[in-house]
Amino acid sequence: MAATSGTSATTVAAATTAKSKDKKSQEEIYAEFQQLRNQQRNLINNLNTLEMDLKEHKTVIDTLKTVEPGRKCFRLIGGVLCDQTVEVVLPQLVTNKEQLEKLIETGKDQITKKGLEINQFKDEYNIKIRGQDGAAGPGAGKENVDDKSAAPPSANRNVLVGQL
């Protein structure tokens, strides 16, 4: 009888250890998922910044095309205001604009890949996000139908997936 109770105690201890490992792995999974989402958010923020810079470059280029080439203009380079002419600045701006366009395309590809990585991670660990893919509670659908002032369903999404 003593041998049986010793084995039983070992089994209980092993089960307890397995549960604590599962809990720790759940926390690690959550942390890794959050890290992936934060990386995607950072990529999106960087892309938005690049797109704003591109828009500014296009505006300045369009404006400078209407001005005579010998006219004086100022350009801010690394925090220093430089006095140059339009004929010198315009080709530099066009080159910068082309580089920004390439960076934006690369950024879009990175965001798409990160979204696929997040989806794969969600599928692998069976992660559900509240308010997405019907993972909300049974009453959630009723509340959205009854409350006309509620935000649109797209506002509840936490992960951007797909091509921009």
Pairwise CA distance, residues 118 & 34, whole Å: 10
pLDDT at 48: 98
CA distances from 47 to 42, 54, 128 (A): 8, 10, 27
Q: What is the pTM assigned to this prediction?
A: 0.66
> Could you tell me the sign of the dihedral formed by the alpha carbons of 139, 141, 144, 146, in that order?
negative
pLDDT at 131: 84
**pLDDT(153) > 90:** no
pLDDT for 86-132, tens place per residue?
A: 999 999 999 999 999 999 999 999 999 999 999 999 999 988 888 87
User: Helices in the chain by DSSP H: which ranges?
Assistant: 2-65, 86-125, 140-146
Pairwise CA distance, residues 88 & 64, whole Å: 11
Q: Looking at the structure, give the CATH architecture of the domain made up of residues 23-127.
A: Orthogonal Bundle (1.10)
CA distances from 60 to 67, 73, 85, 156 (A): 11, 11, 14, 37
Residue 163 binned pLDDT confidence (cut-offs 50, 70, 90): very low
Domain positions in the chain are 23-127
pLDDT for 17-73, tens place per residue?
A: 444 445 558 889 999 999 999 999 999 999 999 999 999 999 999 999 999 999 999
**pLDDT(10) > 90:** no
pLDDT at 59: 97
pLDDT at 94: 98
Return phi, psi of residue 152, to 5°: -65, 155
pLDDT at 70: 96
**pLDDT(141) > 80:** no
pLDDT at 76: 92
